[in-house]
Amino acid sequence: MLPTPAKKSRPEGLFASPQKRNVVICLLIVVATLALYNPVNRHPFVNYDDDRYVTENPHIRAGLSWDTITWALTSTDQANWHPLTWISHALDYQLFHLNAAGHHFTSLLIHALSAALLFLLLVRGTGRTGPSLFVAALFALHPMNVESAAWVAERKNVLCTFFFLLAIGAYGWYAQKPGWRRYLPVAVLFTLGLMSKPMVITLPCVLLLLDYWPLGRMGVPQAPISRLALEKVPLLALSAASAVLTMKAQQAGGAVRSIMQFSLPVRMENAIVAYAMYLWKMLWPTHLAPLYPHPGNSLPAWQVLLSAFALLAITGLVLKLREKRYLLVGWLCFLGTLVPVIGLVQVGDAAMADRYAYIPLIGIFIMVAFGLSDLADTRKLGLTARVIPAVCVLLALGFVTLRQLSYWSSSYNLWAHTLAVTRNNFIAQDNLGGALLLLGRLDEAYPHFEAAAEINPRDPMSHSNLGAYLQEHNQLREAVEQYLTTIRLTTDAGLLASTYANLGGAYRDLGDDAQAQESYDQALRLNPNQFNAYLGLGRLKEKQADLGGAIANYRRSLQLRPTDHGYLRLAHALEMAHMPTEALAAYREALKINPDLQQAQDAASRLAGNN
């Protein structure tokens, strides 16, 4: 932990012991955070990466096993190397299976514990309870952090932040009495953070800032700045290794955008505006969305200039008030920890994201809380004059957070809101269409897929979705064209596998069995666990009167993902193979999933009557 400052006189009464007081405050932080976020425990998974991280990931759905751990340690799936995140999801699946409430609660608990830990670090390092508590409360309750805490696929963000804060605590302990035995926990906790998400790559620089404030190590004769910098070298080596792994993973996953797609001047302009927008959304948290589309070209000059002016003005003010060391440290922490995700290396198609500010805004919260506390001291304000405004601010933020949480109550609500607060968002159009498909509202989904393809003709997902819609409406040749376009536009193995599986179905229904077989085989080469490829192969084998092959493929599909349609196909094949007992069992399994499936009801009644 951070070293304790010189003792000051403390009030008598219930909280005369600072240790007991801090424990009570930490409990209050955790309880308040869990209470505010409680609605999330009733939310389902959403159709934005939750499938790839949990619901349709066969490695995670295998539970916590040695094979899963081995895969997690070697996988660069989802264009990242974050084995600890995968392991945490596998553990959740082991405990909760596909009950989304359990997965949500784990993320919320980590978020709440991080808020309590942040309070402990600050009060231990500064001895100032009031501003430390306000920083922790802002972190716990601010609407911009909803995305990280309420989205299962962002487990990596809350997990890496927890280890980031633990590493800072370990560094404070090391700073009291430097030595390799105390340094080792810092390196281990930092490694665990990097294994959760490489966002914490800037920790060595943050620790150097903490040497300036609140540790006060910088400028001390026994710890010159050269020595302070030198002791960070092993941590910087870990950062470098993580950076190399991350770049390789993101390039392999096709996530890194080329300089032709986003020129360097455009990236610079977007970075300047994004810095300013994070500050604005911190002050006025409205129109929050899981994704803000990148403009792709030059931004209006007034927007860039206004943003640059705001950043320079704050920098000038911080330098002018440099005797308030927390201002400089908070500001540089904000600027520095955003560097990996500010878009100079463009990953994906987002201009910015609320989740990227999860750690950086801690620096701004410190500036605000400690600055206002000092201002109150200067004006000799009493406790009431300090507490009432702080409580009003937190209540207002809590109200906005509750409203923001409501948008995560379903995939439909999330993307309908996103389209309402952003422009030219082809990803939101794709996902809203996908949400409508899940609700059975196919005709409403199609215009959103068309809109996505119009906004970005090179968006593979919209073409894949258009193909699925056309295939559902028996426009098979048009569907094939959309699937082939998708295949030309993407290198994403997951999307390619599902597209080839759908393409196989279209070719099968067109009577081109050879192309269908080739498409299914290609889908399984890309993803050996592509359940609907086995389902399609089963239908192809059934069409070719190979009932043994059909039954084997249907069973393999159902092992990967039990569906009512899969059991229905298996039951039909078993019945044709004169296996009525097994067929009846399959029909009953279909009815467990979908009790309203009339075909299964009729067949089960007939078979049961025959027996």
Residues 6+ positions from 387 with CB-CB distance below 8 Å: none
Which residues on adjacent β-strands are paired with residue 350? 293
| DSSP, res 561 | -
User: Would you state the pLDDT for residue 171?
Assistant: 98
Closest to 243 (Cα-Cα) out of 381, 485, 81, 377: 81
In this predicted model, what pLDDT tens digit does every residue of 539-569 receive, in sequence order? 999 989 999 999 999 999 998 888 999 999 9
Class of residue 353 by CB neighbours under 10 A (exposed 0-12, middle 13-18, buried 19+): buried
User: Would you state the pLDDT for residue 492?
Assistant: 84
Domain boundaries, the chain: 18-407, 529-611
Residue 80 to residue 70: CA distance in whole angstroms: 16
Residue type for position 285: P
58: helix, strand or coil? helix
Q: Which of 191-200, 402-411, 512-521, 583-592 has the lowest mean pLDDT?
A: 583-592
In this predicted model, what pLDDT tens digit does every residue of 215-261 receive, in sequence order? 999 876 667 888 999 999 999 999 999 999 999 888 877 777 777 77
In this predicted model, what pLDDT tens digit does every residue of 101-126 receive, in sequence order? 999 999 999 999 999 999 999 999 99
Query: Mean pLDDT over all residues of the chain?
Result: 93
Q: Which of 207-211, 251-255, 422-426, 437-441 has the lowest mean pLDDT?
A: 251-255
- Over range 486-507, report the average pLDDT: 93
Three-state secondary structure readout of 175-225: HHCCCHHHHHHHHHHHHHHHCCCHHHHHHHHHHHHHHHCCCCCCCCCCCCH
| DSSP, res 3 | P
User: Would you state the pLDDT for residue 2?
Assistant: 58
From residue 449, alpha-carbon distances to 239, 392, 471 in Å are 40, 43, 14
User: Would you state the pLDDT for residue 460?
Assistant: 93
- Per DSSP, the residues of 87-156 read HHHHHHHHHHTT-HHHHHHHHHHHHHHHHHHHHHHHHHHH--HHHHHHHHHHHHH-GGGHHHHH-GGGHH
Residue 452 to residue 446: CA distance in whole angstroms: 10
- Over range 301-330, report the average pLDDT: 97
Three-state secondary structure readout of 407-470: HCCCHHHHHHHHHHHCCCCHHHHHHHHHHHHHCCCHHHHHHHHHHHHHHCCCCHHHHHHHHHHH
Residue 61 to residue 93: CA distance in whole angstroms: 6
User: Would you state the pLDDT for residue 405?
Assistant: 98
| CA triple 29-103-282, angle to 5 deg | 50
Look at the alpha carbons of 11, 15, 17, 18 in this order and tell me if their dihedral is positive or negative: negative
Q: Which of 11-15, 81-85, 224-228, 257-261 has the lowest mean pLDDT?
A: 11-15
Residue 55 to residue 438: CA distance in whole angstroms: 14
Taking a C-beta distance cutoff of 8 angstroms, is the pair 606, 599 a contact? no
Residues 6+ positions from 112 with CB-CB distance below 8 Å: 29, 30, 33, 34, 37, 140
Of all residues in the chain, the percent with pLDDT exceeding 90 is 81
Residue 333 to residue 362: CA distance in whole angstroms: 8
More confident site: 146 or 599: 146
In this predicted structure, the answer to whether residue 136 has a pLDDT above a threshold of 70 is yes
Element holding 501 (H helix, E strand): helix 493-509
- Per DSSP, the residues of 225-272 read HHHHHHTTHHHHHHHHHHHHHHHHHHHHTT-BPPTTTS-HHHHHHHHH
Residues 6+ positions from 268 with CB-CB distance below 8 Å: 344
In this predicted structure, the answer to whether residue 79 has a pLDDT above a threshold of 90 is no
Where residue 94 falls among pLDDT bands split at 50, 70, 90?
very high
In this predicted model, what pLDDT tens digit does every residue of 593-606 receive, in sequence order? 889 889 888 888 88
- Over range 158-177, report the average pLDDT: 97
- Global pTM value: 0.91
User: Would you state the pLDDT for residue 6?
Assistant: 47
User: Would you state the pLDDT for residue 494?
Assistant: 85
Is 529-611 a domain of CATH 3.30.360.10?
A: no
- Over range 313-320, report the average pLDDT: 98
Where residue 13 falls among pLDDT bands split at 50, 70, 90?
low
In this predicted structure, the answer to whether residue 85 has a pLDDT above a threshold of 80 is yes
Q: Which of 122-136, 253-267, 299-313 has the lowest mean pLDDT?
A: 253-267
In this predicted structure, the answer to whether residue 351 has a pLDDT above a threshold of 70 is yes
